[in-house]
Amino acid sequence: MGEKKWAEVRPSEDYFRILNPDGSVQGTLPGVSHQELLRWYEVLVETRTFEAMASRLQRRGVLSVAASSRGEEAVGVAAAAALQPGDWMFPAYRQLSAMLYWKTPVDRVMAGLMGNAPEHIREHLPLPAEQAPTVNIMPYPVFLGAYVPLAVGCALADKLNGRKQVSLAFVGEGSTSEGDFHDGLNFAGILNTPCVIIVQNNQWSISVPASRQTAAATFAQKAVAYGLPHERVDGNDVFAVHDKVKQAVDRARAGGGATLIEAVTYRMLDHNSADSSAVYRTEDEADYWKTLDPVERFEKYLLVNGILDAAAKARIEADMEARLREQIDRGRAVPPTPADSMFLSHLHGEPGWSERHQRAELACELAGGNPFMDFTGEGLQ
C-alpha cells in the first residue's frame, strides 16, 4: 500500500455523554450502586487482562489467532448490565466484557479459542447449573451481521409466547453493510419485537474506515428508515451506554418494541493478530483516542469519588492475573476435539459425496499428507 493510508474521518461528537474524559460528570448519572460500579470495573480489568494474556499466548503459538476489544470494553459491560436473568444476548467477537459480566466461564472461553467444539468443551469442563450464566448467551456466528435477524427472531418468539424477555445484539459498524442487518431491523420495526441492537462503531472494519462504510452521517440514523427509535452514545462512557441501553431494554420489556443504538468507540489495536493496522492507519489517530480510553476514564471517576482506592485497584489487578492464569490453564488442558467430530455432530443420514470427499481429505491430512496436493480423489466413489 506504500504511502497510501485511509484517513480516519473523526466521528462527530454529537452524541450522548455523561462521563467526561477527565473523569468529571455532566448531566444525571444513572442510579447504579457503588457495589455494582465496582463489579463493572472488575469486569473491565478482567477483559483487558485476559485479552492481553490471550495475545501473548497467540505469539507463543498456543492460539492461532486472537482478537482484542481494547478501547471498546465499556460498550459490552455497560450494555450487558441493563439485562435481567432470562434475557438473551447475541455478542460478536468484541464483546468479551458483556459475556464476562454475566459470568461466562473463562476456562470455556479459552478452550473455545483453542479451536474446540462446544459439545466437546461441555464434556470436559462441566458447569454446575447454579454457576451457569443466568442470561442466555448465544455463541457467535462467524458470518457478520447474522446476529441481527437471529436476535429479532428470538425476540419475536418471546413476544408470541408472552414471555417478558429482551434480546440484545451487538454488531460492528462494518457489518451494517450486510443485508442481514437491514432485514433484521425491518422485521424488528414491523413486528414490534422486544430487542435492542447496538452498533459498536469502532471506526474500522479491518482496513476500511467507518467513513467509507456508509454515506450516512451516523449509523444511528439508519433506524429512521425502519421506523425505530435510535440513540447515539459515547461508547467509551459506561454511564452513557448504560443509561440509554437500560431505557431501551425497559421499553422493549414493556411492549414498546426495538431500539437501535450506535456506540461510538475506537478499536485501539489491530483487527486481530493476523492484521497489521500500521499499513493502513496513522499513529496520531491512535494517540487521540488514547485520551478517551474508557477504562482509564471510569477509573478516574471511581478514584476521585472514593469508590475505589489505589490499594483496592492493585489488589484487583494482582488477583486477576492469578485467577485468570488458573482458568486459562484449565481451558488449555482440554484435549483437542477429534477432527472427525465435525462429521459426527453436525451431519446426519447416509454420507453424501461431499461428506465422503471431506472425510477422505481429512484422513489424508491426518496421515501427514496435504489434501490439496496429494489427494487423489479416493472416497468419491
Ligand X SMILES: Cc1ncc(C[n+]2csc(CCOP(=O)(O)OP(=O)(O)O)c2C)c(N)n1
Q: What are phi and psi of 211, to 5 degrees?
A: -65, -20
Quick one: cell of 120? 466437546
Q: Which does 142 bind (CB under 5 to 8 A by kind): Mg ion, ligand X, none?
A: ligand X
Report how far residue 14's alpha carbon sits from residue 233's, in angstroms, rounded to the nearest whole number: 9
Shortest reach from residue 119's CB to ligand X, in Å: 23
Q: Would you say 69 or 259 has its CB closer to ligand X? A: 69
Shortest reach from residue 82's CB to ligand X, in Å: 20
Q: Which does 206 bind (CB under 5 to 8 A by kind): Mg ion, ligand X, none?
A: ligand X
Shortest reach from residue 98's CB to ligand X, in Å: 13
Q: Would you say 206 or 303 has its CB closer to ligand X? A: 206
Shortest reach from residue 18's CB to ligand X, in Å: 24
Select the residue whose beta carbon is closest to ligand X and give its number: 172
Shortest reach from residue 281's CB to ligand X, in Å: 13
Rounded to 10°, the helix 310-332/106-113 angle is 50
Report how far residue 223's alpha carbon sits from residue 248's, in angstroms, rounded to the nearest whole number: 14
Shortest reach from residue 200's CB to Mg ion, in Å: 7
Shortest reach from residue 45's CB to ligand X, in Å: 21
Q: Under the rule (CB under 5 A), what is the footprint of Mg ion?
A: 172-174, 202, 205
Please tell me what DSSP assigns to residue 380: -
Classify the C-alpha dihedral 365-367-368-369 as positive or negative. negative
Q: Residue with C-alpha cell 411492549?
A: 255
Q: Which does 94 bind (CB under 5 to 8 A by kind): Mg ion, ligand X, none?
A: ligand X
Q: Under the rule (CB under 6 A), what is the footprint of ligand X?
A: 94, 142-144, 172-175, 178, 202, 204-206, 267, 271
Q: Would you say 205 or 218 has its CB closer to ligand X? A: 205
Shortest reach from residue 248's CB to ligand X, in Å: 21
Q: Would you say 32 or 206 has its CB closer to Mg ion? A: 206
Quick one: cell of 362? 481429512
Q: Would you say 114 or 206 has its CB closer to ligand X? A: 206
176, 199 Cβ separation under 8 angstroms = yes
Which residues, in sequence order, are CB contacts of 328 under 8 Å at separation 6+?
50, 53, 54, 57, 106, 107, 110
Pick from 1, 48, 5, 15: which is nearest to 220 by CA? 15
Q: Would you say 75 or 364 has its CB closer to Mg ion? A: 75
Total residues found in the chain within this entry: 381
Q: Would you say 172 or 294 has its CB closer to ligand X? A: 172
Which contacts of 278-281 are long-range, i.e. CB under 8 A and separated by 24 or more positions?
279/1, 279/5, 279/207, 280/1, 280/5, 280/6, 280/207, 281/5, 281/6, 281/8, 281/204, 281/207, 281/209
What 3-state class would DSSP assign to 241? helix
Q: Would you say 148 or 154 has its CB closer to Mg ion? A: 148
136-137 and 204-205 beta bridge pairing? unpaired
